Amino acid sequence: MARTTITDVARAAGVSKGAASKALNGHKGVSDATRVRVHEAAAALGWSPNAAARALSGARAGAVGWALLRSPKSASVDPFFVEMFSGVELELASTDLSLIVKLVFSHEQELDLYRRWAAERRVDGVMLTDIYVDDPRPAVLQELELPLVAFFPGAPTEVPAPGVPFVWADQALSVHALLDHAYALGHRRVGWIEGDPAKVAPVLRKRLSAAWAAEHGVEITTIFTDHSPEQGAAAALELLARDRPPTFIVFDNDVMALTGLSVCLEAGLSVPEDIALASFVDSPLCAASTPALTALHHPIADQGRVMTRRLVEVLESGGDDDELGTEVPGTVLVPRRSTGPVGR
């Protein structure tokens, strides 16, 4: 969708571009009637006078943007992003920047949002999370000359796009922490119920777990899902129905892990005596379940602060910044009652 320009506003109002600029900026040199006509045209076309003034003057917006892609059927934001939001806000508290968060329901809607933000100078920079395989967003933002920092779930050797500043979490350490725990308890058949295969993180975790399995002689079965409790339950049932079911199952988030726990208990299995369960993401829900779920604690708020600090540095440098990858604080395994020795 083509964005509305000041030329479109001028044409709709029947005035010159210069007259439209003066009217939108509140400058002298146009009649009251012309000023009203220009503002009416801008409103009809969805052009914000305040945004127009920023775009024409080149002034800073004083804000950073964060778009969260969610399904139209469920616009809820999971606890992971709620905690990251708190970290972002804590870091911004020491600056004069504010945060604009928008829920979007498609990739096209998100890209249109960035184009509008850039055209209207709504934000000075953007934070990217949930990086996708062949993600088009970094290139689009670079083309729009809108500064960005990406939260990348990989290593500094696997960048989200050339020349894009990013912060990164060491997925290998997280994956190995869970699998080393399972191995030490004697488990040799592991099921991993992952998230969306269109995203980099689940694909990377599958690759890392497969390499670890080959090295340790362990059988790992990965099932991708949409992160919903329904698909998490279906995946757990699929693993339990196998001729040689896993003795240890990892769920990619806390909600799926809790649903998987219910599935196992309803199937008459004891946890961890018959099967061990763990969550890749810790939360108060994991600690409160019965039995309590072994999980990886992610310092999410601290990670959000690092991402925000990095974006502020990029903005302050004016893009003249050679540093690309910055590591965020890592995860810590929290063993609980849901995991124990195999066949105990």
* Mean pLDDT, each 10-residue run in order, the chain (344 residues): 70 83 70 87 72 51 90 63 91 92 92 92 93 90 91 69 84 95 97 94 94 97 93 96 96 95 96 97 93 96 93 78 75 97 79
Residue 166 CA to residue 127 CA, distance in Å, equals 9
What is the CATH architecture of 171-298? 3-Layer(aba) Sandwich (3.40)
Residue 97 CA to residue 124 CA, distance in Å, equals 9
Residues contacting 294, CB < 8 A, separation 6+: 181, 276, 277, 278, 279, 286, 333, 334, 335, 336, 337, 338, 339
Q: 171-298: same fold as 6-57?
A: no
Opening angle at CA 211, ends 189 and 263, nearest 5: 35
* Stretch (H or E) spanning 69: strand 63-69
Query: What pLDDT does 73 receive?
Result: 58
Domain residue spans of the chain: 6-57, 63-169+301-327, 171-298
Question: Tell me, which fold does domain 63-169+301-327 have in CATH?
Answer: Rossmann fold (3.40.50)
Residue 99 CA to residue 260 CA, distance in Å, equals 36
6-57 domain in CATH 1.10.260? yes
Query: What pLDDT does 81 receive?
Result: 82
Query: What pLDDT does 9 receive?
Result: 85
